[in-house]
Structure 1
């Protein structure tokens, strides 16, 4: 039997891994479950990813890219939209970050849960730690186009904390509270 050329197979396997994690958590992830979800032979998953840590690394990297793209697509990196007469640059930054987080939470909640499940998996899986750190570094670099690096790092930490609180408490995203907290960090570090 001739081998079928399938240049998108690796990507499909990563996407399938993300769907498995959303449905069953990291505990449900195996080469077999991903192969079934991707509708590929089991050998394909082990060919492209020699270990589950390699597969989780690729999945976390993809998840990181999704949120970083949301920041890049927003006004955060473009300098912010006009926040109205008299609105400070810091207030506009807080408004824009709140809008991005609000849109993130308005989407499917499973995507955010997935992101944090992968992110927190790095606590027990050292192979994931450099990729988790990539997210922080990337977000800080993006935000540093609008503020100093120390404030950017504080904003990333605050956004992570606020997102985790919403996820862990099952509460709704509170845009007013988020905007106030972000503004306090931006204004306090200015």
Structure 2
């Protein structure tokens, strides 16, 4: 009789254990950590060297989290690059929005080219990887289109449409040039270029 009671009690404890299962650790930031880890891995190994295993290790998450949060590597890379461009664009817009005059806007453009809003080794590496990835994946080009549209919208607060387009191209072109050339364009020369491109704008 006693063995029967003990056996039933043990079964009840096992039933409760099966019903509840192990508690899942609450980790609301896991998805964002994976995104940031993906950018870190791309910056170090390139898109071609980015794998689920490397990203999971960088984010310190179980490998299964990769497929739980993202529908494959393309989905993860698209999301990561989209977040990267949005972050850069927000700092770009903040710098231009702070300008009150055309002259201040010109100075802001020079800062964008010569400062650290966008120009850092990591950001330039991620930008080059994005360009190459978009060249192979046409769907990714929408990220770049939104990035350029946002830049020109910020510039259009101070310059007309044609000038905004020219300045946007100058920002991109000069920063890329300076990132690979030994003899980079000086800040003074950049300022002269920006002044010439926007000379017909009201001061």
Shared fold per TM-score greater than 0.5 = yes
Q: CA deviation at 1:106?
A: 9.1
C-alpha distance in 2 between matches for 1:72 and 1:172: 25
Flag structure 2 segments of 5+ consecutive residues without an equivalent: 1-21
Q: Which has the larger radius of gyration?
A: 2
Secondary structure in 2 matching 1:79: coil
How many residues are paired up? Answer: 181
Structure 1 residue 67 corresponds to structure 2 residue 77: no
Which of 127, 139, 142 is 1:115 aligned to? 127
| 1:42–1:24 Cα change, 3 Å | same
Flag structure 1 segments of 5+ consecutive residues without an equivalent: 82-88
Return the TM-score normalized by structure 2: 0.79
C-alpha distance in 2 between matches for 1:106 and 1:35: 27
Secondary structure in 2 matching 1:112: helix
Query: 1:44 corresponds to which residue?
Result: 65
Secondary structure in 2 matching 1:27: coil
Secondary structure in 1 matching 2:99: coil
Q: Judge which range, 173-182 or 103-112, deviates more.
A: 103-112
Aligned-residue Cα RMSD (Å) equals 2.2
Query: 2:141 corresponds to which residue?
Result: 129
Once the two structures are superposed, what CA deviation does each residue of 1:123-160 show, in whole Å capped at 9, x if it has no partner? 11122111111100111111111112222122111111
Return the TM-score normalized by structure 1: 0.84
Greater relative contact order (Cα < 8 A, sep 6+):
1
Q: Judge which range, 23-32 or 99-108, deviates more.
A: 99-108
Q: Judge which range, 63-72 or 21-30, deviates more.
A: 63-72
